[in-house]
Structure 1
Amino acid sequence: MGRPKTYDRDAVIERAMEAFWRFGYEGAHLSALVEATGLNRFSLYKEFEGKAGLFCAALSMFTEALVDEYRLFLDKEPKGLANIEASLRSLEYGSDYYGCFMINTLTQRDTVPQPAFAQAQATAGEIEALYVENIRAAQARGEVSGAVDPEDMGKMLYSLDLGLHIKGLAGGGEAEKDTTITVALNGLKAGSAVKA
């Protein structure tokens, strides 16, 4: 009979997530993960089948919470431009900003485990779909021109979302972020976006 676990699995994943988030998949060495989680190498391998399994578990925990956070803004009724603006403006940089763990995973495509990259892509698709739903609702209420393709606009808005996160990593400030959002929303309200 094996020894009972003396650790909280979710707490271990959360501590590992912080290390991966800050240092990336390659930068979070096994010794750093052992230190961050408090588990020895044997326990990490036994529980998560190694660093890759731990990374996938951490990303899964993060993306579940991330989609819930987006839904707080983008599932709110009535759907439309107010939701989109609230979602975009909810991003805060701060001095300890390490970007979005999911987006960081997407930018590290060649180094992260393939299942993690696929999960990050799927989550990005979920978020993009939430933007599309709000564009459709905005069109139904006359907030956005009917000539705008909702799918194309959803892609543009999520590209803007991604860009804002990356801009924060590159040292962008709050004022620049707010100006970018205002310009994008003004263009959307004016129906100036053209079909591809």
Structure 2
Amino acid sequence: METSRRAPIGRPRGFDTDQALEEAMRIFWEQGYEGASLTDLTAAMGITRTSMYAAFGNKEDLFRKALERYTQGPASYGARALQERTARQVATAFLHGSVRATTRPGCPSGCLGVQGSLAAGDPGSAARDTLVAWRNEHASRLRDRFRRAVDEGDLPPDADPELLARYLMTVSNGIAVQAASGSTREDLQQVADMALRSWPPVTGPAPHTG
């Protein structure tokens, strides 16, 4: 009687991939894409280069996975801000979230999405392009949210959703750079609050929540 042959069971990885990716994210966050060498990355992750390639792909692949983790973790304030009831509350949550995320105790200062591609040359062009697309996506989501606010009467009819989104992104990116340069959370909170003072006034009834 012929017995069926079972496929060999693969050896389990000898490391926690989730924790390894967390450490890679922190290295990219602190050192940027080009500044983070494979030696730095694998040492922080506690694995060999062979294990890194097998689990995450090359450095560009690892960076994209780390950026995704950053988006879902420290930078998740952006997605939450979009759910706020009014455009002003969206802007407030976005900038206040930016201040908190870039000055978190025990984490690198600044923003991975900004610091990751600063001074990147040709070797870092792919990472730079990835981060440009990442920032543009955030701006597009803010723009779409503010278009809805105009339609609902929550923003004045002559408000420019594109400009408002770009304004918030510029202030947020500036906050990240200043945080990386050593500015305190209190100082950056004052900057965020000053930026919000120029927000367009509400001219119609507050939108209803459904």
TM-score by length of 2: 0.75
Task: Pick closer, same or farther for the CA change 1:101–1:8 going to 2, 3 Å.
Answer: same
Aligned residue in 2 for 1:158: 169
> 1: distance between equivalents of 2:108 and 2:171?
18
Larger radius of gyration: 2
Deviations 1:72-129 (A, max 9, x none): 12223x2311121122112222565421111112324426644432332222122112
Aligned residue in 1 for 2:179: 168
Structure 1 residue aligned with 2:190, among 173, 179, 191?
179
- Report deviation, 1:140: 4.3
Alignment of 1:85-124 (within 5 A): 85-90=92-97, 91-92=99-100, 93-94=103-104, 97-110=108-121, 113-124=124-135
TM-score by length of 1: 0.79
Aligned residue in 2 for 1:52: 60
Deviations 1:57-86 (A, max 9, x none): 22232234466431112223x231112112
> What SS does structure 1 have at the residue aligned with 2:197?
helix
Structure 2 residue aligned with 1:39, among 47, 53, 57?
47
Ranges in structure 1 where 5+ consecutive residues have no aligned partner = 192-196
CA RMSD, 1 decimal: 2.8
Structure 1 residue aligned with 2:21, among 4, 9, 13?
13
Deviations 1:5-40 (A, max 9, x none): 222322221111112212223333333222211111
> 2: distance between equivalents of 1:149 and 1:22?
35
> 2: distance between equivalents of 1:72 and 1:85?
11
How many residues are matched?
Answer: 190
Ranges in structure 2 where 5+ consecutive residues have no aligned partner = 1-7, 203-210
Aligned residue in 1 for 2:4: none
